[in-house]
Amino acid sequence: MRDIALVDTFNLRDLGGYPTVDGRHVRWRRLFRGAGLQRLDGDDLEMVRALGIVTAIDLRTDGEVEATGTYPVGRLPATFHHLPMIERIWDLDGLDPGALAHDYLVDRYRDMLAEGAPTIATIMDLLTRPGALPAAFYCAAGKDRTGVLAALVLGALGVEPAAIVADYHLSKERVERIRARALAASGAGASAMVAQPPAFMQAPAETMQLLLAWIDEVHGSTPGYLASIGVAPATVDALRAALLG
């Protein structure tokens, strides 16, 4: 039920079913995390149409959108929001070849929590608006920007930390397929993805474990982080009301 098995678009997944610490579960078919949804076409487009998505949120940079286009709202009517999580793709110049993937990634994710704070706060509000669900958010590979946002949403819902880590790590096999596709392609988005060391594309569980631990250490909890960037407790309550069953 979790993977939406498309032909040419990988890593589209349902965030439903995850257990919360208070014994509830995230509702199925309400919120999706994805990758490269600007490419939807043919049978893939029809499969996504059946999901009934009414809100599409693109987390990619301006340059990526200019290079490869946006969600196909002309064929899949939805309210579209372009809300970049970062201003530009990571600069890998000078990267230590011996750097551990999870150390590098968690540093970037912590940067993202600061740089992307306005986007994160806006999205939390968007997801609680009447009629906003089902919704999908996505980036290029669906691992980093999408993975961080998914972790924050699940954390706000009170999902068990082990489930948040497991959800992040699910991207590993899907991203391998995305990278293989990118190797055969060209363009800014493909080049940026191929430039990353393969180890950085593995969605190592340690990365999300370290990020969640850092959030708890600095902010006390995910809701604590969200409060620090201006997300009201009432918004978190509304998100839980909309997504938990």
3-state secondary structure of 13: strand
Closest CA to 20 of 135, 161, 226: 161
Say if residue 134 is preceded by a cis peptide, omega within 30 of 0: yes
- The answer to whether 207 touches 144, Cβ cutoff 8 Å, is no
pLDDT of residue 208: 97
Q: What is the mean pLDDT of residues 86-91?
A: 88
pLDDT value at residue 182: 65
Residues 6+ apart with CB under 8 A from 92: 195, 196, 197
C-beta of residue 34 within 8 angstroms of C-beta of residue 72: no
Q: How far is 204 from 40, CA to CA, in rounded Å?
A: 28
Task: Locate 138 and state its tokens.
Answer: 């996505």
> Which domains are seen in the chain, by residue range?
13-243 (3.90.190.10)
Decide: 127 and 153 in contact? Cβ < 8 Å.
Answer: yes
pTM: 0.92
- Residue 231 near residue 124 (C-beta atoms within 8 A): yes
- pLDDT at residue 227 is higher than 70: yes
Answer yes or no: are the C-beta atoms of 210 and 225 closer than 8 Å.
no
Average pLDDT over residues 203-227: 97
- pLDDT surpassing 80 at residue 235: yes
What are the tens digits of pLDDT across the range 99-145? Answer: 778 888 999 999 999 999 999 999 999 999 999 999 999 999 899 99
Q: Label the pairing between strands 13-14 and 31-35.
A: antiparallel
Residue 229 is classified by DSSP as: T
Which is nearest to 152 in space by CA: 229, 100, 70?
Answer: 229
State the DSSP H helix or E strand holding residue 81, giving kind and residue range, or none if neither.
strand 79-82
- Alpha-carbon span 88 to 154, nearest angstrom: 26
Confidence of residue 63 (pLDDT cuts 50, 70, 90): very high
Q: Is the pLDDT of residue 220 over 70?
A: yes
pLDDT in tens, 11-27: 999 999 999 999 999 99
